[in-house]
Each structure stands twice: as structure tokens, then as C-alpha cells.
Amino acid sequence: KQEVTQIPAALSVPEGENLVLNCSFTDSAIYNLQWFRQDPGKGLTSLLLIQSSQREQTSGRLNASLDKSSGRSTLYIAASQPGDSATYLCAVRGMDSSYKLIFGSGTRLLVRP
Amino acid sequence: EADIYQTPRYLVIGTGKKITLECSQTMGHDKMYWYQQDPGMELHLIHYSYGVNSTEKGDLSSESTVSRIRTEHFPLTLESARPSHTSQYLCASSDPGTANTGELFFGEGSRLTVL
């Protein structure tokens, strides 16, 4: 059974720092991995989607990498801003046909001005 | 930008009432999902659908039911709400089979409180 773990559970950094959020998964047979952002009381916003054949994806100040063999993904945020404060979730989709995602418990990020 | 809408955003009701949470998407997505999330906790899949007239139970047992009569519409119903149903319910859909990237798009969520 696929399990997804995110470390750290919470992170507080000063504005301007570069930071890395980690996601690990137990079954390397994945179809894709998706990173989301969730603001308090809101839904999830898709940030980056990495297919199993890809190594990384970039969008603006965000870069996500995928290493299937080691069961790891990282989300790199460059030059963090207070507006980046949110919970960041990673989710993996397995190789079956259900399209179901298994979510990690998230990393709560606070960027201090 | 995803076009998936949930209503109501917030609902406070008494025990025993029947409620329906609405979810609609205008992207033509075949696959739709309902996730349940307690504050500060993980998301758990409670229902999903491959398309019209298709509904499946998710990984977390739920007393709610769903229907998929139209592609764009995937409502969730609780026949008799209880305080244990208090939670946030998130609806999602994924892109068409021809694109097949499997990217998931979420609505804003419906926060349900049962007194």
C-alpha cells in the first residue's frame, strides 16, 4: 500500500530564503506526482505535475524534482515571500486505472517578513 | 485556471438533516472525486467517478452517497447528518482521457458543521 510522507511538518523561514520541501513515497511504481498549495480553509491549487518519465518541472520560482528509484520528490522555492505562506502537499498517482491520488500530510510553511 | 465549483462554501445544520453538497466542473473532465479533510489533517478519498453513471467508494469509508447523472455534475448527499460528519469536503476532477496527464484540479471546498 502506497504511503506518502512529507518532512518537515512545519517550517518557518525569513523572507528571501531559498527552501526545500521533501516528499517520500514507499512504492516507486507511480504514474505521476503532483505538488499542491493549500491556503487555510481553501481548496488545493495545483503547482506542478511531474510525470513518472520526467526528472523535474519548473514554474516561476518553483522547481520540483522526482527520483522514482529512491521514492523521493523535492519542491524548491527560491527567494521565498510572505505570500508563499501556506500548506504544501504532495500526492502520487499509482499505475492503476483509478486516477486516485495518495496525499502526504503536508508541510506548513510560514515566511516571515 | 481550473473551473470547478462547489456550493455551499459553508454550511451549519442540525443533526438529522439531509444535505447535498454540489460540485460542478466546466472542463469536460470524465473523472471526478470527493475528498474529506479534517482541520490540519490529510485528505482522504471518499468517492470517485470515471464518468456518467459510474460511482465508486474511496479509501475512507463514508456514510455519504454520490451520483453522476451528468458529466459536469457530481453531488454528494448525506441523508441524516451527524456531528461526526463535520469536516471539509473537497471536490476534484482530472483532465480528459485523451490528454491523460492525470492532473487533478480542486474546488474551493465545502466546510460542513453539524450541531
What integer is the mean pLDDT of A38-55? 91
For residue A69, give every residue at least 6 positions away whose Cβ sits within 8 Å of its Cβ, in sequence order, or none: A28
Q: What is the pLDDT of chain B when averaged over all its residues?
A: 90
3-class SS of residue A51:
strand
Beta bridge partners of B104: B94
pLDDT of res. B2: 59
pLDDT of res. B62: 86
In chain B, residues with a C-beta closer than 8 Å to the C-beta of A106 are 42
Cβ-based neighbour number of residue A48 at 10 Å: 21
Question: A49-76, pLDDT tens digit by residue?
Answer: 999 999 999 999 999 999 999 999 999 9
pLDDT of res. A1: 84
Query: DSSP of A69-101, one letter per residue?
Result: TTTEEEEEE-S--GGG-EEEEEEEEESSTT--E
Residue A94 dihedral angles phi and psi, to the nearest 5°: -80, 180
What integer is the mean pLDDT of B23-41? 91
Question: B37-84, pLDDT tens digit by residue?
Answer: 998 788 899 999 989 999 999 888 889 999 999 999 999 999 999 999
What integer is the mean pLDDT of A14-25? 97
Asked whether the CA dihedral B41, B46, B49, B52 is positive or negative, the reply is negative
What is d(CA B29, CA B36) in angstroms, rounded to the nearest whole number?
Answer: 20
Q: Do A46 and B106 touch (CB under 8 A)?
A: yes
Closest to B94 (Cβ–Cβ): which among A36, A99, A106? A99
For residue B105, give every residue at least 6 positions away whose Cβ sits within 8 Å of its Cβ, in sequence order, or none: A46, B2, B4, B25, B27, B29, B92, B93, B94, B95
Q: Does B27 contact A at CB distance below 8 Å?
A: no
Q: Do A98 and B43 touch (CB under 8 A)?
A: no
Cα angle A67-B106-B86, degrees, rounded to a multiple of 5? 110
User: Per-residue confidence at B33, pLDDT binned at 50, 70, 90?
Assistant: very high
Q: Does A101 contact B at CB distance below 8 Å?
A: yes
